[in-house]
Structure 1
Amino acid sequence: MKKFLTPIIGLSLIVAFAACNPDNDNDKDKDKDKEEPAYVSQTPQNRAIVLEEYTGINCGWCPDGHKMGDELRAKFPDKVYQINIHAGGYAANTYTTPEGTALNTAFGITGYPTGVVSRELVNVGGKMMYALSRGVWENVATQIMEHKAYANVASKSTIDKSSRKLSCSVQVYFTDSSEADPEEGNSINIAIVQDNIWGTQDGGSTLYPAMWDDATKKYKHNHMLRAFITGAAGEAIPDNAKGTLYKKTFEYTIPETISNEAVVLDDLEIIVFVTQGDALNAMKITQANQIPKVINACKSTLTFK
Structure 2
Amino acid sequence: MKKLLLSIIMISGVCLIANAQTFVSTTAEMKNAVLEEFTGIYCTYCPDGHKRAQQLADDNPGDVVLINIHVGGYAAPSGSDPDFRTPFGTAIKDQALLTGYPSGTINRHNFSSQGWDDNGGTAMSRSYWDDGAAVMLLESSYVNIAAESTIDYTTRVLTVNVEAHYTANGPSSNNINVALLQHNIAGPQTGASSYNPDQILPSGEYNHGHMLRHMLTGQWGAVTTATTSGTTYTQTFTYTIPADLNGVAYELFDLSVAVFIAEGQQEIISGSNSSMDYILPPGITLVDLGASTNMTVPADYCDGNVTPEITVMNNSTSSVDTFEVSYVLDGGTPVTLVGNNLAASASVTMPFPAIVLASGSHLISYNVNTDNAVSIIDNISSNNNANSGVINTISPVAFGQSHSEGFESYNSGGSVINNAILINSSSENTYVVSNAVSGNVTWPLGAFENSDMAWRMRFYSWDPASEATLLFENIDLSTNTGNGLRFSYAQAQASTSNVDKLEVMASTDCGATWTTVYIEQGAALATSTPLSSAYFYPVAADWDSVNIDLGAFDGQSSVMIQFKGTAGGGNNLYFDDIAISNTVDLSNPYVLSTGLAEVSNSIFEAAELYPNPANEVAFVKLQMKKSAEVKVEVRNMIGQVVDLVSSVVLSAGSHTLTIDTSEFGEGLYFVNIYTGEDSITKKFVVTK
**TM-score, normalisation: structure 1:** 0.82
1:1-305 counterparts in 2 under 5 A? Answer: 22=11, 29-30=17-18, 33=19, 36-93=20-77, 94-123=83-112, 124-125=114-115, 128-178=120-170, 180=171, 182=172, 185-213=173-201, 216-277=203-264, 279=265, 292-305=266-279
Structure exhibiting the larger radius of gyration computed from Cα positions: 2
Query: CA distance change for structure 1 residues 154 and 126 in 2, over 3 Å: closer, same or farther?
Result: closer
Report the count of equivalent residues: 262
Q: Which residue of 1 aligns with 2:404?
A: none
Distance change (3 Å), C-alpha of 1:160 and 1:207: same
Deviation at 1:77, TM superposition (A): 1.5
- Pairwise CA distance, 1:22: 3.7
Q: Counterparts of 2:244 and 2:14 in 1: how far apart (Å)? A: 25
**Match of 1:152, SS?**
strand
SS of residue matched to 1:90: helix
Output the CA distance in 2 between the equivalents of 1:117 and 1:204.
24
Structure 2 residue aligned with 1:284: none
Shift in Å at residue 216 of structure 1? Answer: 2.8
Cα deviation 1:92-143 (Å, max 9, x = unaligned): 1420000112211222233110011111011243864311000110011011
Give the letter aligned to residue 210 of structure 1: D
Contact 2:106–2:129, Cα closer than 8 Å, also in 1: yes
Cα separation, partners in 2 of 1:110 and 1:129, compared to 1, 3 Å: same
- Residue identity opposite 1:172 in structure 2: A
Deviation at residue 202 of structure 1 after TM alignment: 0.4
Rounded to whole Å, the distance in 2 between the matches of 1:136 and 1:145 is 14
Counterpart residue identity of residue 115, structure 2: G
More strand by share: 2
| Offset of residue 24 of structure 1 | 6.4
Secondary structure of the 2:88 match is helix
1:229-249 residue CA offsets vs partner (Å, 9 max, x unmatched): 111201101311111111001
SS at match of 1:82: strand
Structure 1 residue runs of 5 or longer lacking an equivalent are 1-20, 280-291
Q: Deviations over 1:250-305 (max 9, x none)?
A: 1111111012211111011100111112x2xxxxxxxxxxxx21111111111000
Cα deviation code 1:28-54 (max 9, x no counterpart): x33xx2xx2322111000000110000
Aligned equivalents of 1:100, 1:110: Cα separation in 2 = 15
> CA offset at residue 25 of structure 1?
7.1
Residues 229 and 37 of structure 1, relative CA distance in 2, 3 Å threshold: closer
Change (3 A) 1:26 1:140: closer
1:65-90 Cα shifts (integer Å, max 9, x gaps): 00000100110021001000000011
Q: Give me the whole-angstrom Cα distance separating, in 1, the residues matched to 2:122 and 2:45.
A: 19
Contact 2:88 2:219 in 1 (8 A): yes
Which protein, 1 or 2, shows the higher relative CO under an 8 Å CA cutoff with sep ≥ 6? 1
Q: Which amino acid aligns with 1:252?
A: Y
Structure 2 stretches lacking a partner, 5+ long: 1-9, 78-82, 280-688
